[in-house]
Chain A
Amino acid sequence: MSNHITTDLLVDYVHHELAPEEDALVHAHLGECAGCRREVENESALTDALRSAAAAEETDMPSLVAARVWETIRSARPSPLGRLAVLLRPAVAVPLAAALVIGAYVAVPLSHGGPAPTIDAGYYFEQHAAAQVQYPLAERGATLQPADRAALEDDSPPAQLAEQSNVGVATVDFISAVR
């Protein structure tokens, strides 16, 4: 049983946001896996830094925190972690609200006489981002790809995916749990 814990689960674990059963599973795994323990330490450290910065009511992003975030990102080892990840689309001059995968919107097929259709959460994020790019300075045009294209198609066994997921504290939101 070499399934590592996904970064998402680890982050939630650090923030005490897991259901008791999940929490227990993660706790048990950490007892026997140095790699995942290291990632937990990283996540905890960043969280602490962010918290203390917030407590100090600093409004500019503290340079130390920023520096650590960048350092982590730059030193991140190649890993398929992000294959499960959101696509953040930062924009500069001309904000970008790109749609990537039309398939995500219809990920839940209309089944005949089955359950009611649903709307992909990513649809809401994208439409919102698309509408807001017209506003001055509004390059929050990050486009979320929740049911990420890779996650949707990924066939790799979870163990292999999680294997290299220790990229540290540059946690990517919305990483899916072990699939």
Chain B
Amino acid sequence: MSRRAFATALPVAAAFFLALGSTNTRAASPADPALVLLRASLGAPKVVSYVGQLETVRFSSSRATATIVRVEHRAPSLTRRWYLAPESLYGDYTITRGIATYDFDIKNSRVTISHNPALDEQISSAGNFDRVLANYRAVLGGNDIIAGRATRSVVLINKYTGERAIRVWIDERTHLVLKKEEYHGNGAVASQMRFEGVRYTNAIPDGVFSTDPPSGYAQIAGHDFKMPSTDVGRVIQEAGFAPASPKDLPQGFSLVGGSVATTNGVKTIHLVYSDGLRTISLFENATGAAADFGALRPKTLRFENHDAEYVEDGPTTLLTWREHGVYFALVGDLLRNELVDIAKSVVP
């Protein structure tokens, strides 16, 4: 078990300004083959079209959850995912066109349309890649055959803890990521995805990406997600209260953005912290609105004087607690004790 190194986080306002400018890349030379390969893999979906079957397993502390999806992708930005497993999703499919996602729920005959500008930001955002390089070392791994294709793997190792965080297997010819494993801070596998088969083709018919709902389908407006803003002043003003921020974050993390949304009549601020690879979300509301776990079965834990509740979605954990009338919710792909350490350092 490796003890994660913690760094002192700056107060919210200061951190915002710093986070923006300071993705200092004292990274390896641009010609480093691991970096070249990694960078190519990020751009691959923009230029490579393919059909494949993708399998994903996500691990929570005691369970494995898996999905199998048939994927049809036409570069640069059309993707259809058709669910083969679990049974509950069989036949359902989603079509992503740029930042719009159409979610076809065939059992309930409806399609939900949502928008997320972040879908478009991922590849274009060079700053995010710089942040990865500031906090992780890319190391070239071995050669493997994945889905019948020759791949080369790249491992990203956390510069502060020395732990590997992620390993990707990149098609040597097309640079598409064909397999990926993510690891927790203690080395345990958090999730794995891999292509069972892949075929590169430019001949996917237009109809595959049609978003016209079958007759009788209800159209439902989903979410229009906002990009987290980097303008802290405006976010705080919009929230109407000063959010508390964690004093301790795992090393390499900094505040990268925030947003305010009103859900169920409750104004909630969302602060996003990242080290380029991993992301932590801190939500706060001063209305006294607790989390409703609905059909989930939250477990309880105590830290300091707080009765907290948490649930896991695969390797992602949601931890909620209340302090001084403010409700906090912390979400991240971190181990529970890591999240608790962060939570302890949030003092309103």
Residues of A within 8 A of B (CB): 8, 11-12, 15, 17, 46-47, 50, 54, 57, 59-61, 66, 69-70, 73-74, 76-102, 104-108, 110, 116-128, 130-140, 142, 144, 146-151, 153, 167, 169-174, 176-177, 179
The answer to whether A137 and B105 touch across the interface, beta carbons within 8 angstroms, is no
The answer to whether A119 and B285 touch across the interface, beta carbons within 8 angstroms, is yes
For the residues of A in contact with B, the DSSP-based class is loop
Chain B interface size, under 10 / 10 to 19 / 20 to 34 / 35 or more:
35 or more
The 6 closest A-B pairs by CB, nearest first: A82-B88, A93-B45, A176-B295, A90-B56, A147-B294, A118-B292
Choose one: A117, A142, A153, A174; the contact of B266 (CB below 8 Å): A117
The answer to whether B294 and A140 touch across the interface, beta carbons within 8 angstroms, is no
Residue among A11, A87, A105 with the most chain B CB within 10 A?
A: A87
Choose one: A50, A81, A134, A147; the contact of B87 (CB below 8 Å): A81
**Interchain CA distance A100-B111 in the complex, whole Å:** 8
Contacts A96-B94, A119-B266, A125-B313; is A142 near B122 (CB within 8 Å)?
no
The answer to whether B316 and A142 touch across the interface, beta carbons within 8 angstroms, is yes
Return B255 CB to nearest CB of chain A, in Å.
12
The answer to whether B66 and A170 touch across the interface, beta carbons within 8 angstroms, is yes
The answer to whether B65 and A135 touch across the interface, beta carbons within 8 angstroms, is no
In the complex, residue of chain B having the shortest beta-carbon distance to the beta carbon of A7 = B63
Complex interface: stretch among B21-29, B199-207, B275-283 = B275-283
B327 — which chain A residues lie within 8 A by C-beta? 119
The answer to whether A138 and B122 touch across the interface, beta carbons within 8 angstroms, is yes
**Interchain CA distance A52-B177 in the complex, whole Å:** 29
Contacts A15-B62, A170-B66, A173-B63; is A137 near B264 (CB within 8 Å)?
no
In the complex, B211 has a CB within 8 A of chain A: no
